[in-house]
Structure 1
Amino acid sequence: MINAERLKREMQTISTFGALPQGGMSRLAFSQEEAQARAYIKTLMQALGMNIREDAIGNIFGRIEGELPLPSIAIGSHLDSVPLGGFYDGTLGVMCGLEAIRTIKENGISHKRPLELIIFSCEESSRFNMATVGSKVMAGKLSKEALSLLKDKEGVSLYEAAKAFGCAVETIESAKLSPDTFYAYLELHIEQGPVLENKGIPVGIVTGIAAPIRYELTLQGRADHSGATPMNMRSDALACAAEIILHVEKIAKEEAGETTVATVGFANATPGVLNVIPGSVRMGIDIRDIDAKALEKAAVLIEKGIEEIAQKRGLIYTLKELTHDTPVSLDKKIIETLEEEAKKLQIPTLELPSGAGHDAMHMPYVATHTGMVFVPCKEGISHNIAEEVNMDDVICATEVITKTLITLANEG
């Protein structure tokens, strides 16, 4: 039903924006490369006759009216990437969503409800240490003040970056949507894990999305000469950080829940030279789980351990919570509809949870029904230039979401 060759061709084109010589791409939020990708997708949306608007944080909405003035069916994802990332994380969902809506329109298929494509702003946390910014703003979870506090490595705040990008962030409250703005929201994404490929299943139907709790931890010791300071007279911030890193790992592996994961993603020591005892360390801690109780348990235990380790070593610490999200169970109605449409198409599916966060986790605040589809990725590799998909799987998944959009768009 869909135009597979067109989808492949347009994926190749949009992948040139931010492409790297060694493969993969870097397309950070609010960058020139993202602006180029956004401009390209807008030309495709305009050619389809979509009514296009942008909100105060830069989320793009492309809409085709339905036969009745009912809440719309939306589908979408994001275009920004991590540094040295792959071509498919986020972008694939945008392009497949566009192809699904275009297929419906080109074939003259009736739909009572409007259809919308959403390109979310700043989904990746790579630049500002907060993920899913666009959907959080849409759900009313982020204020102007919060955007000003989030800063990149150069000290540029998210507020400043968005404003320089052309977003009307001074009116950020206008981007908040009311509950049930959308009748349903769908998102297609690569799995970012190995399950579907290992089982030989082309389409995954997501049952729930894990949520993160994230911290920035600063440890303040004392910088001293590495040769002249006895071991029992040191206040080594990096040694303290090492103990905390192992503590974080131990909590996730042994004491929280079966699905808990925790990562210390960076530990930056100052002054960072060979012959000086590190006087301070800034580090990032990321805890995730699909079980809300286990997630909270892990956070409490990790916080307690940080306090005990820093106190034992005589260091001052500051723990700043960056993100505190709640795991989300996705809509059974959407799960069943996706499975039914896949069965009609004779496409095998598998139900599975998402360990990674996605914009879909915030859409239940503004959509009556929310669902998500996964496409296998080679060896489960993602956030990496080696990220790769099988286009046959992509085509299967796009056919499933197209049929699902048609079914949902014709519900009263």
Structure 2
Amino acid sequence: MRMPVLLLPFLAISVTADPLILPLNKFSSFGTSLPGADLYLASKDSNEYLKNIQITTGGSSITLDSLNGFNADSSPKRLRIIDTMTVSTTNNNTISSWLGGNLYVTTKAQADDPSFSVYVIKTEHNITMKSGKTTAVILNTKLEPFVYIDQPFKTSYVTGIQQSKDAVVNFKWGIPAYNWQSVDTNNTFFKNPMDLKNDTYTGLMFLMLINNENLSFQPKLKFSRFFDHIEPLQIGFEYWYIMANGSITMQIENKFITDQNYSTTAATTTGLIVNELLFYPHIVTFQPDYTRSGFAGFLVSAFPENELWFTMSYDSSYTTIDFNGTSSIEDRSWAPEQARMLTINSTNQVAGVFYCQYFSYAGDLLPMTSTSSPTTSMRGSTGMTTNTTIVSTTTVGTTTSGACFMSLWVLFVSVVYIIF
């Protein structure tokens, strides 16, 4: 019996059409495309089934198995779209539902741009982005074998990031829009350097006790810090992209290493926790250098389905951001201390989607001091009791939005110098 043929036409041409991700297991209306765009396949599906899917453009047809590979220079194979494009398959619905790959269609401008590149991650790949403004789209493939209950369906394991100090790098979820270079898409989940825009500190901050009064100099100026040490990043997305201004290299693998309990590998560092599927509590343990001043904190974008909270513990303080059903992008909290521990918890295993970039920075050596003061006890809004020598309660470097609640107790001992 002949299998039914499913045709998927692109019905219109639009100069402002967005690029497309077309899942092989969900044949529906896929929208529009442009002549001159490029088509890529990101799949670990068997060629036995890929050869039953046909792409037609410009009066010629190919089957998808011919795109399931790489060129001699390790770039993924691609198909230039001549005019409109149609997709047809002779796979039945059951086989189609098993497929895990995606088709990716760029715009013509992206296809013609030499600074725009696409990587299909099947094993291990070296990523090189040269000086100037560049964009790299990362297309993940199925992660095998299934070992951990919390592992994503697809993922990138990013290591060995080497970035020039004058470079600016942003990792973003999704795929680049047609006007990706001219608009702020507000979808960054990792950045270097770290740019804290709100209620930030620079220069020299004094906290001292004079006549039982706490005097503080706290200029609220823009603050940026480059991290030359970056932890391995587990990015459990089907696809994402990098926008860079300056040179950067890294290795990306089709690999998963559980990060429920993770210890950083340097005092000055930044890293990432991502969740898209089942949630399990996360703990990040830092390696602070207590002979130095510093700062630490986190940026988080969250789309929660149940209550979700992030707590950063310092030597003498803690910060908490609590999301209870309201989405937020780039909420941030930081304090002028090095971090000791980050914990992420939820009331439910279906916590929702979140992206959390954490950072801790060890600054200049602290001055030697032998001053001592009597112990003071203070109870915070969460009911936690903290003992320290000098207690200052203040709000430091925080932003809130929606129903997001944030509390911060900052506790300082004697005179603290922080020089950035």
TM-score bracket for the superposition, by shorter chain length = under 0.3
**TM score, norm. by length of structure 2:** 0.21
Q: Which has the higher contact order (CA 8 A, sep 6+)?
A: 1
Would you tell me which structure has more helix in proportion to its own residues? 1
Would you tell me which structure has more strand in proportion to its own residues? 2
